[in-house]
Structure 1
Amino acid sequence: MEQYTCSFENDPFTLEKAKKEVYEIPSDRLAAVDCLRQWLNSQEHLVFKADTRMLLAFLRHAKFSQKKARETLEGYVKNFDEYPCWFRDLDPCSKKTDWILSKGYGIPLPGYDVDGRKVIFYKISSIPYNEIGKGKTIDVDDLMKVWVILGAYANSEERTQIHGFSLFFDYTNVTMKQLGMIGRDKIKEWNTATEDRLTGRLKAFQMYNIGALFEVMFNFIKPFMKKKFLNRIYVYETLEEVYKNIDKKNLPSEYLPDDYDGPTQGTFSEMAAKFKKEIQSEEWRKYYDSRFNSSFHVDNKKKNNGDAPTALFRKLNVD
């Protein structure tokens, strides 16, 4: 029988936040998991395996609404059929992913921000624009696959499933061409694949040094994003503004003031190299294989369209 121990059981702050914000009651936790597992096992059309921790991630994302958790889970499995280039075979050691990681495109910062959230830090200009495109070193889809890898890394931590995570983008030296290289169609598809199909509590988009490009960026994404996410966009013009949200000790050394004499994590390149070594370990490769297995899919021939979700645990509020 699978054994489960909550990793924040001795953290009163996170336990209280879990109770207030995602309606997680420790005494009911495993009963909710069993209910979701029984439903999953009855869905012959969903070719998918999930352990207790993974099912809990869906429940926390859904604020313990069984209906919402089931919808998200089914959408997650659909992604493997509809967007295989992003969700199938997520191997941190694959040739193109290795190249992107080596460039230091994105890293999870150590520790948490002032609100207790995990921060994924993207240095957009680290990938040369002329290296991206059909027939070049990497394609846009390769970058987006790394987005999935980094998001899954952050949300593997149960604490982050409660407190949420934020995305920090450094737009220093980014050009208009780089800003628009993803394209509207890709962004629209990305929103379909992530907004209601992936677990996690995305609490903020933090943009540093974007300058006059912000208006272009905002108008580009506005048609595709939910209002709640548009309201979570923050623009920082100076590093002093960044320091109010992210502790200096967790930032790369090139983002620190000259007179700073506290603990450091090293340069961005050094932090990226350290993260690359970690994420390419056998342990993490097994983790991604368990969460993004190439065998996951929807068998529509076995789908019972009359199946209606039952046991709607707790009222679902908007996150």
Structure 2
Amino acid sequence: MNEVMEWGVDNIYRAITLVSDWVNRNENVQVNSIVVFVDNTHITMNHVLTLFGHDNGNKTMHFWQMFLHGNSLAKVYDEIGMSVLPDEYLPDDYDGPRVGTHEKIANEMLEDMMSPEFREYIRDLSSEKYGVDLKERKQDHTPEESFRKLNVE
């Protein structure tokens, strides 16, 4: 946890935002959304409150809509499934599809994040290329219609 404290809140939010931008480029994610699985084994509420403060800690928890499952992975296996979890979280006798180890997943993500295409995408997001004309922004909160067909069963 000391490493996290040394990073600081701003850098943690930047890292989370960068990973979110990377994940959200995937069309499958855009259509079907994602589930974020966080192992908080060594994290206490005191850590969260120290790092983010009381207000930001509560906002962060609500933003991520966290479900806490305790020490058993049985409910996680039921809700998320085993095929999308890193090898480190799978039972020894699991013989289904695998996504690989933490290290393999992280290395593939970092390699893709270092690609010229992703770096240009992040530069564009940081520029005025996708600016919003606030005068044209919708003033009420009624939903917009979407004409994209979703593949839902």
Counterpart residue number, 1:251:
85
Correspondence for 1:221 = 58
1:147 equivalent in structure 2: 16
Q: 1:263 aligns with which of 92, 97, 117?
A: 97
Q: Number of residues paired by the alignment? A: 140
Q: Aligned equivalents of 2:84 and 2:34: distance in 1?
A: 15
1: distance between equivalents of 2:106 and 2:75?
23
RMSD, aligned CA: 3.4
Matches within 5 A, 1:21-100: none
In structure 2, what is the Cα distance between the partners aligned to 1:130 and 1:308?
43
In structure 2, the residue matched to 1:131 is 3
1:155 deviation in Å? 1.7
Tell me the TM-score normalised to structure 1 length. Answer: 0.37
2:31 paired with 1:159: no
> Residue in 2 aligned with 1:316?
143
Post-superposition offset of 1:296? 7.2
Q: Give the CA deviation at 1:172.
A: 0.9
Structure 1 spans left out of the alignment, 5+ residues: 1-128, 188-219
Judging changes above 3 Å, is the alpha-carbon distance between structure 1 residues 270 and 298 closer, same or farther for their aligned structure 2 residues? Answer: closer
Aligned residue among 214, 224, 234 for 2:67: 234
Change (3 A) 1:308 1:295: closer
Report which structure shows greater RCO (CA 8 Å, sep ≥6): 1
Render the CA deviation track for 1:184-236: whole Å, top value 9, x for unaligned: 35x2xxxxxxxxxxxxxxxxxxxxxxxxxxxxxxxx517x95xxx69x44222
In structure 2, what is the Cα distance between the partners aligned to 1:252 and 1:266? Answer: 5
Matched, 1:169 2:38: yes
- Offset, 1:295: 7.7
Cα offsets for 1:118-164 (capped at 9, x unmatched): xxxxxxxxxxx22344xx4x222111001111111222223322322
What percentage of residue pairs aligned between the two structures are identical? 29
1:289 & 1:274 partners in 2: Cα distance?
A: 21
SS of aligned partner of 2:35: strand
- Aligned equivalent of 1:182, options 39, 45, 52: 52
| Alignment partners' CA distance in 1, 2:108 and 2:27 | 22
Distance 2:137 2:9 in 1: 38
Considering fraction of residues, name the structure with more strand: 1
In structure 2, give the amino acid aligned to 1:150. V
Q: Distance in 2 between matches of 1:146 and 1:234?
A: 22
Q: Counterpart amino acid of 1:291?
A: L
Letter in 1 for 2:23: A
| Structure 1 residues 308 and 182, CA gap change in structure 2 (3 angstroms) | closer
Distance, in Å, in 2 between the alignment partners of 1:177 and 1:161 is 34
CA distance in 1: counterparts of 2:90 and 2:75, whole angstroms? 12
Structure 1 residues 184 and 297, CA gap change in structure 2 (3 angstroms): farther
Unaligned segments of structure 2, at least 5 residues: 145-153
Residue 151 (structure 2) aligns with: none
In structure 1, C-alpha distance between the alignment counterparts of 2:137 and 2:76, rounded to whole Å: 46
Distance across 2 between alignment mates of 1:309 and 1:177: 40
Relative to 1, partners in 2 of residues 1:290 and 1:221: Cα closer, same or farther, differing over 3 Å? same
| TM-score normalised per structure 2 | 0.70
Question: Given the superposition, is the C-alpha separation of residues 176 and 250 from structure 1 closer, same or farther in structure 2, using an over 3 Å criterion?
Answer: same
Counterpart CA distance in 2 for 1:247 and 1:177 is: 30
